């Protein structure tokens, strides 16, 4: 189980690069990849004082430095990321995207870079303690995520309904103010929010709904194979030299 450790005071500053994209330049040295991240997904990506930081942001920066490629970081709603890859508007994405067989039909994934998990979250005063308590309840889920897939697949079985939200803060607010009874969110995300006291009136009622899914970097299926290979190569390097563990330790401590 993961538990939070104190966030380092230093923030990673990611400069937004301006120039040609990977599909307009034939010169590898001039290529600038457009890479998306989730705009509101602490501790993986979050805006702090006008810059983006977090596990995903820092892993991407470390890998790019190792492999020598340039990119423009594009924060956006998670629901638009896979469509953006498919349409060719994005070259890649690192956004806490769980690797699934269904998503593999649309995008190509890197090696897994983080093991996560899906949690069921309620208000602190809720009497929900298991999935068997969800009859007649309302779930808040984020579009296109494993939480929404879980709700869609299990609502009939457990007798609950669900509403879609654009981002994690909107889900948290819906449960906090009673618009929804529970939400489904990735385990490290909600643990971080509770431990840093940004969501003090929420609690994790069920900490693992879907085992331990794995996040992957993604590109459009059949394209940007070179970028995908650089990500995999760089990931291996930052794991070998210890910098990967240093990034994770800024936000999460594992037992």
| 3-state percent breakdown (helix, strand, coil) of the chain, nearest 5 | 35, 30, 35
Residue carrying structure tokens 């991240």:
37
Give the tens place of pLDDT for each residue, 152-185: 999 999 999 999 998 888 999 999 999 999 999 8
Other Cβ atoms less than 10 A from the Cβ of 199: the count is 21
pLDDT, one tens digit per residue, over 185-237 is: 888 888 788 778 778 789 999 987 876 789 999 999 999 999 999 999 999 99
- Per residue in 98-142, pLDDT (tens digit) is 999 999 999 999 999 998 889 999 999 999 999 999 999 999 999
The 10s digit of each residue's pLDDT in 66-86 is 999 999 999 999 999 999 999
Mapped onto helix, strand or coil, the DSSP state of residue 3 is strand
Pick left, alpha or beta for residue 134 (phi over 0 → left; psi -120 to 50 → alpha; otherwise beta).
alpha
pLDDT above 70 as % of the chain: 87
Has this prediction a pTM greater than 0.85?
A: no
Distance of CA 154 to the CA centre of its chain: 22
Whose tokens are 């993986």? That residue is 44
Q: Which of 190, 188, 204, 192 is nearest to 129 (CA)?
A: 204
Distance CA(222)–CA(200), nearest Å, equals: 44
Question: What is the band of 28 on the pLDDT scale with cuts at 50, 70, 90?
Answer: low
Q: In angstroms, rounded to a whole number, what is the distance separating the alpha carbons of residues 121 and 202?
A: 7
CATH code that applies to domain 2-116+213-254: 3.40.190.10
Topology (CATH level 3) of domain 118-206: D-Maltodextrin-Binding Protein; domain 2 (3.40.190)
Location of each CATH 3.40.190.10 domain in the chain: 2-116+213-254, 118-206
Give me the half-sphere count of Cα atoms (radius 13 Å) on the Cβ side of residue 106. Answer: 14
């Amino acid at each position: 189980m993961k538990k939070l450790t104190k966030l380092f005071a230093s923030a990673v500053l990611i400069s937004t690069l301006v120039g040609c994209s990977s599909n307009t330049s034939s010169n590898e040295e001039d290529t600038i990849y457009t890479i998306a991240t989730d705009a509101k997904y602490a501790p993986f990506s979050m805006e702090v004082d006008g810059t983006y930081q977090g596990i995903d942001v820092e892993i991407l920066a470390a890998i790019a430095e190792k492999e020598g490629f340039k990119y423009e970081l594009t924060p956006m709603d998670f629901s638009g990321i896979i469509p953006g890859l498919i349409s060719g508007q994005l070259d890649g994405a690192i956004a806490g995207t769980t690797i699934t067989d269904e998503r593999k039909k649309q995008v190509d994934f890197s090696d897994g870079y983080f093991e996560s998990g899906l949690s069921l979250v309620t208000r602190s005063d809720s009497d929900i303690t298991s999935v068997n308590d969800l009859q007649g309840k309302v779930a808040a889920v984020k579009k296109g995520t494993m939480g929404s897939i879980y709700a869609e697949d299990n609502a009939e079985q457990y007798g609950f309904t669900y509403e879609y939200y654009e981002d994690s803060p909107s889900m948290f607010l819906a449960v906090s103010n009673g618009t929804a009874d529970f939400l489904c969110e990735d385990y490290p995300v909600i643990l971080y929010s509770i431990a840093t006291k940004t969501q003090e009136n929420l609690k994790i009622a069920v900490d693992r709904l879907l085992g331990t899914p794995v996040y992957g970097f993604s590109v459009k299926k059949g394209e940007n194979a070179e970028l995908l290979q650089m990500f995999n190569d760089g990931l291996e390097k930052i794991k070998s030299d210890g910098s990967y563990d240093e990034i994770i330790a800024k936000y999460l401590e594992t037992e």
